[in-house]
Amino acid sequence: MTRPMEPTEAAAGQGVPRPPTGVGDGRELLAWLRLMRDRHPVWRDETTGALHVFRYADLLHVLSTPAVFSSDFSAIMPPPEEGAPNFTEGVLTMTDPPRHGKLRRLVSQAFTPRMIAQLEPKVVGLTRELFDTVAGADDFDLVASVAYPLPVIVIAEMLGIPAADRELFRTWGEALLSTNYELPVGAVPDGTMPEDIVRQLSEMHAYLLGHVRDRRATQRGDLISSLVAAEVDGDRLTDGETVSFLNFLLLAGHLTTSLLMGNTLLSFADHPDQADAVRADRELVPRAIEEVLRHRPPVVFQARVTREETELAGVTVPAKVPVMCWQMSGNRDERHFPDPDRFDIGRTPNAHLTFGHGIHFCIGTPLARLESRIVLNELLDRYRDIGCGTPVFYERSPEIFGVKSLPITVQHA
Ligand code: HEM
């Protein structure tokens, strides 16, 4: 279901190995990224027409230049099929300035470090409740018990929607992600979707619309109420914009953070000496989490599209070309990070690209850091030894790196 694009002569490397189809445990992808960083740092894929960017400095340039590298794909992406919900209008990550700045100001008040710090006691309480559901167990699935439910409960509470509906969000989130399973990385979807996916997304749209209409009728003091009441330069968000924004927040706010928690334990299992150092000195927890974010980033790339012809690292790039920004590659670029494959919780500075860069820098960063710090501390408080079991199931989407389930075996403290 791809729409072939005209390949450019520039950097159309002959015999360049194709990217692996999924991320899995990351090994194959990391080997491909290293090769590309060294030999084809800016590569135009003839099959999809997309440009791939691998080096840290080039990534910084692309992500810092929204006037050329746009987040608005409407020029190259067909509109959704008739009857399929449109989840792109009003989504921050798909909006360019000046509208992006206005939309971002609407939500940023809810995500300031101060607002997030105020959530700490609530998040600690919720984390303990979730761990209490497996109290006494010597083995359990960390994702099912804590890493998946916690971020979704927190974001649902902030929005003001019932956390009890979280299984619905999971189904819908998987439906959204599954739309890119079969596409090569960088291919532009042709807008068609299997019927069952359209049905699930329509259900999600209707569900969120119900909440938006409810808040238009009655202010309830939650984030949805603030969004429907907020004005951007005299304009209000439409129902459609509010719904897609909520949908994005729900997905952005939970899957990524849940993956980060799983990735933290996997990193500790691979590097027991560093896990011991963190256990001995809890002050190291935030730095350890930053190194996990660099070394095993939950999101592996971001996409942009060129608005006009431009040049990148000596390569001429025409307008309307999708640009895949491999932040996972930037995080391992030896030109920026000394000994980049080494997992080193003492690494400083550690300016990884996992939360993006520039005007779209992740708004949820303080929340993701808070939740993962609290979960890691709770794990270390409760258990004197934690072992990762098998089987570990990795997510299937080509853009995310992490586990769907993580059986762990624990010894109680
Ligand atoms: C480990 C967890 C997370 C990771 C790795 C992550 C990653 C990212 C990245 C890479 C971007 C930039 C996208 C781009 O430039 O196109 C982004 C943007 C965003 N993230 Fe996150 N995120 C995480 C957690 C969260 C949470 C918890 C929330 C909210 C509850 C959130 C909300 C957002 C929003 C609203 C944006 C759009 C910002 C904009 O376009 O101006 N994220 N995130």
3-17, 69-83, 235-249, 358-372: which is most confident: 358-372
Whole-number average pLDDT of the chain: 89
355 Cα to the center of ligand 1, angstroms: 6
- What number does CATH give the domain 27-412? 1.10.630.10
Examine the pLDDT at 11 and tell me if it is beyond 70.
no
Helix then strand then coil, % of the chain, to nearest 5: 50, 10, 40
Contacts of 317 (CB under 8 A, 6+ apart): 8, 10, 44, 51, 306, 309, 310, 311, 323
Q: Is residue 260 in contact with ligand 1, taking CB distance under 6 Å?
A: yes
Expressed in angstroms, the distance from the first to the final Cα of the chain is 53
Determine the pLDDT at residue 179: 64
pLDDT bracket for residue 180 (50, 70, 90): low
Please work out whether the CB of residue 305 comes within 6 Å of at least one atom of ligand 1. Answer: no
pLDDT tens sequence across 216-243: 999 998 989 988 888 877 878 889 888 9
pLDDT tops 60 at residue 73: yes
Q: Which atom, in ligand 1's list, is nearest to the CA of 357?
A: 15
**Strand residues in 157-269 grouped as ranges (E):** 231-232, 235-236
8 has pLDDT over 60: no
Give the model's confidence band at 296: pLDDT under 50 very low, under 70 low, under 90 confident, else very high: very high
Handedness of CA 162, 164, 170, 172 (dihedral sign): negative
Q: Which residues are paired to 137 by β-bridges?
A: none
Q: Which atom of ligand 1 is nearest to the CA of 63?
A: 15
Residue, of 273 and 3, whose pLDDT is higher? 273
The predicted structure's pLDDT at residue 121: 97
Cβ pair 304, 319 in contact under 8 A: no
pLDDT in tens, 297-317: 999 999 999 999 999 999 999
So where are the chain's domains?
Answer: 27-412
Taking the CA of residue 303 as reference, the ligand 1 atom at the shortest distance is 16
Contact, 113 vs 228, CB < 8 A?
Answer: no
For residue 273, count other CB atoms closer than 10 A to its CB. 8
Our mutation pick for probing the ligand 1 site, out of 362, 370, 403, counting the most ligand atoms within 8 A of Cβ, is 362
Ligand 1 within 6 A of 362 CB? yes
Backbone phi and psi for residue 201, each to the nearest 5 degrees, phi listed first: -70, -35
Lowest-confidence pick of 126-130, 236-240, 316-320: 236-240
Among 97-111, 183-197, 245-259, 343-357, where is mean pLDDT lowest? 183-197
Paired tokens of 386: 């934690």
Q: Can you tell me the mean pLDDT for 306-335?
A: 97
pLDDT band at 295 (very low <50, low <70, confident <90, very high): very high
Residue 292 is classified by DSSP as H
Percentage of residues in the chain having pLDDT higher than 90: 61
* Range of lowest pLDDT (14-23, 58-67, 75-84, 370-379): 75-84
Residue with the bigger pLDDT between 345 and 396: it is: 345
Give SS3 for 18.
coil
Q: Is the pLDDT of residue 189 over 60?
A: yes
Rounded mean pLDDT of 137-165? 92
User: pLDDT tens for residues 74-114?
Assistant: 888 877 666 667 767 778 999 999 989 988 988 887 788 88
